[in-house]
Amino acid sequence: MLLANRAGSAGSGLYVAGSARPALLHTTLSGNSGSDGSGVYVAAGAAAVFTNTIVYSHTVGVAAAAGAVVTMANTLWDGNATDTSGAVVETGRLTGSAAFTADGYHLGPGSAALERGLDAGVADDLDGEARSQPAGTAPDVGADESPLAPPVAATAQPATAVTVTLPARASWPCPPAW
């Protein structure tokens, strides 16, 4: 988890350079600031792979310099002015609200990260709680695994026409039957 970091150069949350090749699983990048405003910056010649990541509230979420290789799988993008810059290869782009709780990284009710992750072989979250919750579901995206279930989308059902047939009466209105 990279939360509210401030840097004087590119990549205020994470700067990847040289021959570095990190593979990050279940990462939350939130509100990092400084220099170019990028949450992650991958320099020329470097590479990075992210799986089940939340990128929240940056000027640029992930920036890749010319000659950098960045792969993002199942990433929830929320509140960034620009999600990516440069050659960033994405699969499983997720949109919606991260719906963090007041601490800025735990998932709250209605989060678009709930049960949207890939099985990346990670057994526990940053609090030591088991992935996946509830058992048998897909893991959550980001550093936190919430016990909450995702919101159920309500669907409207078409109205059904009802025909009512009233018996014929000699006089109307009907007198009460006492």
Q: Give residue limits of the domains in the chain.
A: 1-151
Percent of the chain as helix, strand, coil, to the nearest 5? 0, 35, 65
User: How many CB atoms sit inside 10 A of residue 60's CB?
Assistant: 22
- Cα–Cα distances in Å, from 44 out to 48, 135, 149, 174? 11, 41, 41, 88
Question: In degrees rounded to 5, what are phi and psi of residue 61?
Answer: -65, -60
Residues 6+ apart with CB under 8 A from 139: 26, 52, 115, 117, 118, 119, 120, 122, 131, 132, 145
pTM: 0.82
Residues 6+ apart with CB under 8 A from 109: 99, 148, 151
pLDDT in tens, the chain (178 residues): 888 888 877 888 899 999 999 999 999 999 988 778 889 999 999 999 999 999 999 999 999 999 999 999 999 999 999 999 999 999 999 999 999 999 999 999 999 999 999 999 999 999 999 998 888 899 999 999 998 877 665 444 565 565 655 555 555 455 555 4
